[in-house]
Amino acid sequence: MMILMSSIFISFLMPMIVMMIATTLSKKSINDREKSSPFECGFDPKSSARMPFSIQFFLIAVIFLIFDVEIALILPIVIIMKTSNITMWMMSTMFFIMILLMGLYYEWNQGALKWAQ
């Protein structure tokens, strides 16, 4: 029991010490205006360094990630088919695909799939 307590104590203590040392060593001592400004070949930037982010691109990226994860969930369904009851397999597969199609229809209906407006 004592070994377990000491290992837990060490596992919490060591990362805390490393984080404290890293925090104190990583502090910048001088904040220079020129060093913190955007660098564009030695000239003043022609436009703002913080350009607005396209929400359309963000929506397409999120939809891609969602459907990418769903494809990863669909792939094992084919392997499971051999070992499970065909009726239950068909019902669960159709239910899952129906949820995917409803989500796709919702995104399409909301206009998230339009590339240009």
- Asked if pLDDT for residue 114 goes beyond 80, the answer is no
Asked if 96 and 74 touch (Cβ cutoff 8 Å), the reply is yes
pLDDT for the residue 91:
92
Looking at the structure of the chain, the number of domains it has is 1
**1 in a structural domain:** no
pLDDT given at position 40: 55
- Is residue 24 in a domain? no
The answer to whether residue 20 sits within a structural domain is no
Bigger pLDDT: 6 vs 34: 6
Range of the domain at 88: 46-117
Please give the full DSSP string across 31-93, using - where no structure is assigned.
--HHHHS--BTTBPPSS-SSPPPPHHHHHHHHHHHHHHHHHHHHHHHHHHHTTS-HHHHHHHH
Which pLDDT score is estimated for 59? 79
Tens of pLDDT along 18-59? 998 988 887 665 666 666 666 656 666 566 666 677 777 777
In a domain, 37, yes or no: no
pLDDT digits (tens, 9 = 90+) for 78-96: 888 888 888 998 998 899 8
Instruction: Give the pLDDT confidence score for residue 2 in this predicted structure.
Output: 84
pLDDT confidence bin for 16, thresholds 50/70/90: very high
Asked if residue 28 is part of any domain, the answer here is no
Residue 35, domain member (yes or no): no
Residue 3 in domain: no
